[in-house]
Structure 1
Amino acid sequence: MLINTILVGALAAVAHAAQGTLQQMTGDFGPNPTNTFMFFYKPAQLANPPSLLVAMHFCTGTAEAYFTGTQYADLADQLGFIVIYPQSPDGSGGCWDVHTNATLTHNAGGDSLGIASMTRFAIDNWGVDANRVFATGTSSGAMMTSVLMGAYPDLFKGGAGFSGVAFGCFEGPDAWNEQCALGERIMTPQQWGDLVRSGFPGFAGQRPKVQVWHGTADTTLFPQNFFEEIKQWTNVFGYSATPISNITNDPQAGYSFATFGPNFEAILAQGVGHTVPEHAENVLEFFGLS
């Protein structure tokens, strides 16, 4: 499969109208080995101190597309948090590096280090509350969200991914991993959990909470990836693989909302393909930002 065909996000057709404009950080914001781009949105009225949301686009996407195609900036206007919209490097096809050892390892390089640098810059220079920093993304952006949860658990307090894969599932020499995409990379919960723990060896702090969304009709990243994510994160958090609650038709008809513990939720959308539309208000509620 050609890389420029993968992970094309199906954002809602209706554009959202934030009160302000998307801005680009043109100066140095820290180590950025792959030359990722930093765009951001600051609402006119910031909370004191403001929280931070890092919102990452789908493959073939841009920061502008995710800014206009999702509700996060609108909600930032209402709630006073800052949004960083990273943009993948030139020549990447608009996709994120979620496969190299560098990007999967704390402070080792790859796109993830550039995003971590943006996050650290915001904390150090914009007065962001370091205890309220979160990440979300769609498709390739969901995959990067998972990468950040494993490689930078010291920076992020939570992540929500729409139609992604488990941390490390795309690991390998090539940007596209057919085995993972087809849902054929099957491992035990312990093996998946160990991959997350390998992202930041020796990390002993509290792990960021995780929320994952997937559609049963996804033929780009097959639904088995959703169940591998459940194996992974229940192992990381030490939860049973059996949810403590599973509510049908929540947050809308055809969705099943499973809670495994306070730090992990998994939502399966019946009949939905690639990708599950962003449910921004549910994401912010999970993060405690709403």
Structure 2
Amino acid sequence: MFRYVPPGLGEGRPVVVALHGCTQSAAAYDDEPGWVALAQQAGFSLVLPQQQSANNASKCFNWFEQADTARGSGEALSIKQMADRMVSDLGSDAERVFVTGLSAGGSMAAVMLVTYPEVFAGGAVVAGLPYRCATSLAQAFGCQNPGADLSPRQWGDKVRAGAGSAGRWPKVSIGHGTADYTVAYRNLTELMEQWTDRSWRGSRPVWRPRAVHPRCEPLCGRPHRTLLGHRLAARATSLGVRVEVRAARCRWRGLA
């Protein structure tokens, strides 16, 4: 576990868990989006878990392994314990713990939001996949591209089956590059369907031609946001996506 605490950070501040993509390290995932700089600016502590090659040869978080994506076991439990440790050590605000990730890290962020909704107040899934799209390595590649096409109810059932009991459900932000051929762009729609079915049955997307994102009509002003623009994750411009981490955009998530 790598972590960063801005100098002079007091108690009662938020915690952000940031999960890197395949072949990346915690340091690389900080360098590219600039997480440390944002933590200093917005005043939150940062947890940067790092996958070990012994667990995955490509250093991907195992978002597709059943034992690592179930509540109370594997990598999901380990990441949850890291967040708990940070809250305990720093006296952080336990109601403002967030998780985000890119690609495999984004998929694992979705896992965390499903399995520990009482821990994470919200999260951002960038170029990720729906929860339990795959339950083995063999299935994972097909989920990445071309992707799985299930009904919202089928996706939502996967969340309901894997979710812990909680009185609240997290805010969710989803971003994906339109030219991403590693994790197909259609996964954004599937993720959106999974989370809208989990929270509000019968949601339908409303397309706004001049906007950079569609929103599900019942979710306007609600805690779900789907972003479609080309300016969203770290130096991934070839995929039609770029993450720009800005302090001004943290306020709606409760970070600032």
Q: Give TM-score, length-normalised by structure 2.
A: 0.87
Conservation of the 8 A alpha-carbon contact between 2:117 and 2:166: no
Amino acid at match of 1:285: R
Match of 2:190 among 220, 224, 228: 228
Partner of 2:215: 258
1:269: how far off?
2.7
Q: C-alpha distance in 1, partners of 2:138/2:245?
A: 28
- Does the alignment pair 1:218 with 2:189? no
* Superposed counterparts of 1:139-288, under 5 Å: 139-172=103-136, 174=137, 177-201=140-164, 203-238=165-200, 240-243=202-205, 246=208, 248-249=210-211, 255-258=212-215, 260-261=219-220, 262-269=222-229, 274=239, 276-281=241-246, 284-288=250-254
Partner of 1:46: 9
1:245: how far off?
7.5
1:275: how far off?
6.7
Conservation of the 8 A alpha-carbon contact between 2:100 and 2:124: yes
Count of matched residue positions in the alignment of Structure 1 and Structure 2: 245
User: For the aligned residues, what is the CA RMSD?
Assistant: 2.2
More strand by share: 1
Q: C-alpha distance in 2, partners of 1:275/1:170?
A: 25
More helix by share: 2
Conservation of the 8 A alpha-carbon contact between 2:130 and 2:191: yes
Q: Unaligned 5+ residue runs, structure 1? A: 1-37, 250-254
Q: C-alpha distance in 2, partners of 1:285/1:111?
A: 29
Task: String of CA shifts for 1:124-174, please: whole Å, max 9, x gaps.
Answer: 2220111000001111111111010111112101010111111111322x1
1:90: how far off?
2.7
Identity over aligned pairs, percent: 31
Q: C-alpha distance in 1, partners of 2:122/2:208?
A: 21
Task: String of CA shifts for 1:182-240, please: whole Å, max 9, x gaps.
Answer: 23411111111111122235x14211110000122111111111111111011011154
- Does the alignment pair 1:80 with 2:80? no
Q: Give TM-score, length-normalised by structure 1.
A: 0.78
Q: Residue 122 and residue 194 in structure 1: after superposition, are their counterparts in 2 closer, same or farther (change >3 A)? A: same
- Does the alignment pair 1:103 with 2:60? no
Conservation of the 8 A alpha-carbon contact between 2:118 and 2:166: no
1:285: how far off?
3.4
Amino acid at match of 2:241: V
Q: C-alpha distance in 2, partners of 1:186/1:278?
A: 26
